[in-house]
Amino acid sequence: MTPAQANPAVVIETSAGAIKAELWAGKAPQTVANFLDYVDRTFYDGLVFHRVIAGFMIQGGGFTPDMEQKPAGKPIRNEAAAELANARGTLAMARTSQIHSATSQFFINLVDNDFLDHADDSPRGFGYCAFGKVVEGMDVVDAIGKVKTARSGHFDDVPVQAVLIKTIRRAE
């Protein structure tokens, strides 16, 4: 396998600019395959970064600009592992309190969030699967991380002005 095949990349075109990320297919194969399936089906087109917490992360991949949740597929197995750290610039799968509940939503870490790393197999210690890293456009991620947020319905930390995910496509 060539490096390009082993580590596919995607370009996330947002209303704030472009972000390019390399995905770790060799380290989190099911997670990367799941993410790329959503990408290939254009699932993310027109969704928003719906949760932005300065100094923590930006989250998207599940809601429209009107904060309507888009129906996602079946949950995947959480591939969180000690070597897949939630470091600054990494992409990770969002999930509920259930360990194996991730579907389409992902987040990009604005800082090193080691408390999200895999520590053990308990519900509290299992962690969040980091599956890639921003290789271009971290300035865009940081800018999104600084947008003004407010409460919207029963959601906290929602950007006052929507940050649109125009498209996510495999990089050429």
Write the pLDDT tens digit of every residue in 69-104: 999 999 999 999 999 999 999 999 999 999 999 999
Write down the H helix ranges in the chain.
3-6, 29-40, 138-144
pTM of this structure = 0.96
pLDDT in tens, the chain (172 residues): 444 456 999 999 999 999 999 999 999 999 999 999 999 999 999 999 999 999 999 999 999 999 999 999 999 999 999 999 999 999 999 999 999 999 999 999 999 999 999 999 998 899 999 999 999 999 999 999 999 999 999 999 999 999 999 999 999 8
Question: What is the maximum alpha-carbon separation in the chain?
Answer: 48
**Burial class of residue 120 in the structure, from the number of CB atoms within 10 Å of its CB (0-12 exposed, 13-18 middle, 19+ buried):** exposed
**Burial class of residue 154 in the structure, from the number of CB atoms within 10 Å of its CB (0-12 exposed, 13-18 middle, 19+ buried):** exposed
The CATH number corresponding to 3-170 among 2.40.100.10, 3.60.40.10, 3.40.50.2000, 2.40.10.10 equals 2.40.100.10
Where do the structural domains in the chain lie, given as residue ranges?
A: 3-170
